[in-house]
Copies of this chain bind each other. A is one copy, B any other.
Amino acid sequence: MLILSNDEIDSLLSVEIAFQSLEKAYREQAKGRAINRPRSDLYLSAGKEGTVYAFKSMEGGIAESKVVALRLNSDVIRWEERHGRIVKEKIPSAPGNKWVGLILLFSAETGEPLAIFPDGVVQRMRVAVTSALAAREMARADASVLGIFGSGWQAGAHVLAFCKVRKIEKVRLYSPTKANREAFAREMEKKVGVPVVPMDRPESAAQGADVLIAATNAITRVIQPEWVAPGMHVTCVKDCELGEETIRKADRIVIHARSFAPENYIEGFGDEKIEAHDPIDFLRGDKRPRENRPPPPFWVTAPELKKVIGGEVPGRQSAEEITCFINNIGLGIQFAAVGSAVYAEARAKGVGREIPTEWFLESVHP
């Protein structure tokens, strides 16, 4: 069994490999030859006051590649208000102030575990490349100005990936902390070779953008409806960054998956499966599951990305259309696709640490 580090994965996983493997995954999914077990989040009180423990997991398999991936996150979480927005903060609480996110790959031919590695690099890449695949089908062909909200990992990956699908000539970015947006602009400008301009006001990042991206950790609206103009393509890493009003501005909506929110299992609400993207209100005790349960969002009936990639549903149909891709929730097949590509690269190049597979096998009937 192979153990890889994020550094090793970073050296193995190019943006091109991510595009190829994800495009193939959505095509297979469109053909019914791939399967996901949707994301679930389990919440438990166990640590310091004001924090909660969350165990997130999802699974996916692709028949052709004969690989199944499990992706898990074992997080200590705190919700914080910053700059008037609520953000969900993952506190690095493991030894050395680290986080815990893992991808486990299994052979669907033999059942054996193939590899285990941290999820950080793959996770970042698959979100951005998925949104870029959608933009390839949905943004105007001549889109050249990118407006982006966020200055973290996800935002950086989005700039890289979107520059692969359109000839981007300028990036405008907004992030609430001046130092963060300026550092991000300098770093990204070097990487993509076009001007990346930090803006002092959020609406300035949106103005004149052909593609507008929210890639933040906010759980409240980031992109205001009045900023959305004809011909724009709007996207996000969580639907709450857009909110219903902004999404309603779109003439054409595509979503990542019909399963619109994680299935939450929360200590104290044992018998209730709560579908909500962020159960902060339940954890705070502001809401009880049976009352006040939010209805499914209106956009949940929009076509899934697989149909657009598979050619069953068209992308943009005119230059004036406002299009919107909601990268509403992750899918296990993203990890099966990118994870197995990374695994193949590692095997081909002899990268990684080998530990005995037999430690993880048994002759006792399970």
A contact residues vs B (CB 8 Å cutoff): 3, 5-6, 29, 32-38, 40, 42-47, 53, 55, 57, 59-63, 66, 68, 70, 72-76, 90, 92-102, 104, 106-113, 116, 118-121, 123-124, 152-153, 258, 263, 265-271, 353, 355, 357-366
Do A106 and B55 touch (CB < 8 A)?
A: yes
Chain B nearest CB, measured from A169 CB (Å): 29
Do B365 and A94 touch (CB < 8 A)?
A: no
Inter-chain contacts of A355 with B (CB < 8 A): 355
Work out how many copies of this chain go into the complex: 2
Inter-chain contacts of A40 with B (CB < 8 A): 37, 59
Within the assembled complex, what's the spacing in Å between the Cα atoms of A101 and B111? 9
Do A362 and B100 touch (CB < 8 A)?
A: yes
Chain B nearest CB, measured from A47 CB (Å): 5
Within the assembled complex, what's the spacing in Å between the Cα atoms of A73 and B68? 12
Do A61 and B270 touch (CB < 8 A)?
A: no
Closest to A120 in B: B364
Within the assembled complex, what's the spacing in Å between the Cα atoms of A116 and B70? 15
Within the assembled complex, what's the spacing in Å between the Cα atoms of A353 and B356? 12
Closest to A112 in B: B94
Chain B nearest CB, measured from A61 CB (Å): 4
Within the assembled complex, what's the spacing in Å between the Cα atoms of A61 and B43? 8
